Amino acid sequence: MIQELIQQFNEMFENDHVPQVFFAPYQINIMGDHTDYNKGMVLPVALSFGTYAIVQKREDKKIRLFSFEHPDRPIECDLDRLTYQPNHHWANYPKGVIYLMKKAELPIDTGFDILYAADIPESASLSSNASIEMVTATLLNDLFNLELDKLTLSKFCQKAENNYIGCNNGMTDKFAIGFGKTDHALLLNCHTYEVDYIPTTLDNHSFLIIDTNNPTMSSDSAFNERRNECEVSLHTLQSYIPIDHLGDLTMETFSNAKHILKDAILQKRVKHIVSENERTKQAAEFLRTKDMQSLGKTFTASHISLQQNYDITENEIDQAVKLAEQQTGVLGARVTGGGFGGCVIALIEEDYLLSIQKRFHDQYHEATGNYPAFHHVSIGEGAKEITEGEFEM
């Protein structure tokens, strides 16, 4: 695949040099949705598939960006004119990273050509936007010898989404994409950025991603609304108890303080954050001890909370989770991507993989008219340059 991408890059950009190749995985949360921007705990994994970027420096200040996911929307701009443009669509994500790194007065002094390609179709539920941001930050770091660490690169990507794109999400996806480790989940404290790597060698169990191909909700405004509700709740609770973040709360302290929140919706939002934070810690321990039955139960509880307390699922996703959990060999299932998307993650027994896929496929199509797609999760490394010796891996 990589040799073919290099050939296509050379033909597309009339390049006669040897370009560099970079990769950033997609990621998925095993547990911990919406806890990150509340400075709680998350439990993501980097996936073995993601975004490739073929890049070559130019001698002028022109930037040319092409994505096989959006072949009808190639973007050309100037290094000194990188403001957000609505008609640039997908390219605003890498542009935002370039803009903010250059604004930080890093020595990015020439233009470049980049060809982006994903080895599975884009899915917002699998952090494709964060993947293209992180692969861009990683290649800029190498291309211009910036010598930035992974955490700094992750923060640039988060700032691009918050300040350039206008979506106030957290760090989970960027951090997991940067720091991913093969066959390990990351138990991340989103306040201190301390991480504990949890082995995910699950014997005869694994994770299955089910893409429902259900049209997703417009998530940015709804996401920002949830974050604002959390900030209002935190400010109100701080008048009663000494906390810095909602992630500081336990179920006990919240139970004693929730009467301060007069709005029932705000109570529900905080209840999800606090309970999800505790489920994340439990899920990490269940992974560590290979207690798959208990881990499956946390999946179910998480989905119910996202559905009832955070209100970020819709009927077809709830139906998909219910259908998944009815299949023999499925221990638990939940919406993933923080909601607003069309993917479900299920914890399964490997022996039932094919029958789960077949039965779910038929039942879901009969119920909705949509054809689902399946991705059997393989947990891989974080963002990196791919050298010539790795091209055929």
Q: Where are the domains positioned within the chain?
A: 2-200, 205-376
pTM attached to this predicted model: 0.92
Contact status, residue 51 vs residue 204, Cβ threshold 8 Å: no
> Which sign, positive or negative, has the C-alpha torsion 329, 332, 335, 336?
negative
Structure confidence at residue 81 (pLDDT): 93
CA atoms of 382 and 323, how far apart (whole Å) = 32
Query: CATH number of 205-376: 2.60.40.1220, 3.30.70.890, 3.20.20.70, 3.40.190.10?
Result: 3.30.70.890
pLDDT of residue 217: 53
Residue 81 per-residue DSSP state: B
Among positive and negative, which fits the CA dihedral 248, 253, 258, 261? negative
Lookup: tokens for 145: 């010898």
Distance, CA of 171 to CA of 155 (rounded, Å): 7
Tokens representing residue 258 in the block: 């929730």
Continuous segment of H or E residues that includes residue 343: strand 343-349
Q: And the tokens for 330?
A: 């499925």
> pLDDT truncated to tens, each residue of the chain (393 aa)?
899 999 898 888 898 889 999 999 999 999 999 999 999 999 999 999 999 999 999 999 999 999 998 988 889 999 999 999 999 999 999 999 999 999 999 999 999 999 999 988 776 678 889 999 999 999 999 999 999 999 999 999 999 999 999 888 888 999 999 999 999 999 999 999 999 999 998 889 999 999 988 765 556 678 889 999 999 999 999 999 999 999 999 999 999 999 999 999 999 999 999 999 999 999 999 999 999 999 999 999 999 999 999 999 888 899 999 999 999 999 999 998 777 667 899 999 999 999 999 999 999 999 989 899 999 999 999 999 998 766 554
Name 329's Cβ contacts closer than 8 Å, sequence gap at least 6. Answer: 348, 349, 351, 352, 353, 355, 356
For domain 2-200, the CATH architecture is 2-Layer Sandwich (3.30)
CA distances from 273 to 189, 235, 302 (A): 14, 15, 10
Q: pLDDT at position 393, please?
A: 45
Confidence at residue 108, expressed as pLDDT on a 0 to 100 scale: 97
> Which residues are designated catalytic?
173
Q: What distances in angstroms separate CA 72 from CA 51, 78, 87, 113, 222, one per listed residue?
A: 18, 20, 12, 17, 28
Residue type, 221: S
